[in-house]
């Protein structure tokens, strides 16, 4: 029963990270018109790969990475640069009309979506902060149940991401015809601008501590 409670709590708390606007949501919104409702769950696979790594690290009590301010700043700088590159490429493809969302062959390959899911996760410094605080507290609690505890926590947590991003993709995909044309391009450009803004903010925020 206690493991069921742990699973439920990790699922619910997982939404504290999933529903907040961030790189992964922006990529989900941008890629869904091209790759369909599968975008959300496939991106979540990449996100899950990144998260299982950090769960293992925390479960082994190796938390020095997230506690070292210099490393955190480096992560912020590199993450910011990655977001700017992602946003610039997204905007360039739309402005240069390199992408046709009506074309049958325009779908993004599954392995590329998984890669974007990993990149979007690791490029977000606040993802590390969430795991160094809320996530770490859950791991400490989960370890009371031995090895099975972190495993239960992980699956409960990642399920929230799969549910959220799949719902987002389904909603966008069902409204595909309404979004086609100028409205769709505007939506993608907004997502690209958001990534550029977020990347710039991460770099600025990390740079404040370098003086």
pLDDT value for 105:
41
pLDDT value for 5:
83
Tokens of 31: 């890629």
3-state secondary structure 83-122: HHHHHHHHHHHHHCCCCCCCCHHHCCCHHHHHHHHHHHHH
Owning domain of residue 202: 2-207
- Determine contact, residues 59/150, Cβ cutoff 8 Å: yes
pLDDT value for 73:
74
Instruction: Indicate the number of domains in the chain.
Output: 1
What's the pTM? Answer: 0.66
pLDDT value for 103:
40
Sequence length of the chain is 211
pLDDT, block means (10 residues), the chain with 211 residues: 82 72 79 80 88 81 59 73 81 73 47 76 76 76 81 90 86 65 70 80 72 49
pLDDT value for 177:
54
pLDDT value for 81:
84
**C-alpha to C-alpha distance for 141 and 69, rounded to whole angstroms:** 25
- Determine contact, residues 75/125, Cβ cutoff 8 Å: yes
Core vs surface per residue 9-48: b (16+ CB within 10 A) or e: bbbebbeebbeeebbbbbbbbbbbbbbbbbbbbbbbbbbb
């Amino acid at each position: 029963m206690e493991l069921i409670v742990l699973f439920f709590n990790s699922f619910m708390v997982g939404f504290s990270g999933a529903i907040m606007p961030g790189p992964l949501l922006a990529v989900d919104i941008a890629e869904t018109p091209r790759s369909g409702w599968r975008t959300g769950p496939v991106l979540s696979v990449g996100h899950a790969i990144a998260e299982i790594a950090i769960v293992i690290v925390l479960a082994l009590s190796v938390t020095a990475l997230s506690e070292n301010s210099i490393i955190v700043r480096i992560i912020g700088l590199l993450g910011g640069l990655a977001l700017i590159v992602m946003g610039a490429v997204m905007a360039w493809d739309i402005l240069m009309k390199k992408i046709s969302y009506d074309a049958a062959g325009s779908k993004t390959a599954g392995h590329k979506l998984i890669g974007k899911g990993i990149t979007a996760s690791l490029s977000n410094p606040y993802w590390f902060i969430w795991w160094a605080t809320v996530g770490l507290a859950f791991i400490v609690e989960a370890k009371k149940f031995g090895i099975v505890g972190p495993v239960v926590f992980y699956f409960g947590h990642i399920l929230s991401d799969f549910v959220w991003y799949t719902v987002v993709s389904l909603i966008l995909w069902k409204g595909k015809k309404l979004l086609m044309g100028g409205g769709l391009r505007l939506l993608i450009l907004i997502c690209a601008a958001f990534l550029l803004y977020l990347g710039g903010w991460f770099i600025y925020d990390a740079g404040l501590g370098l003086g």
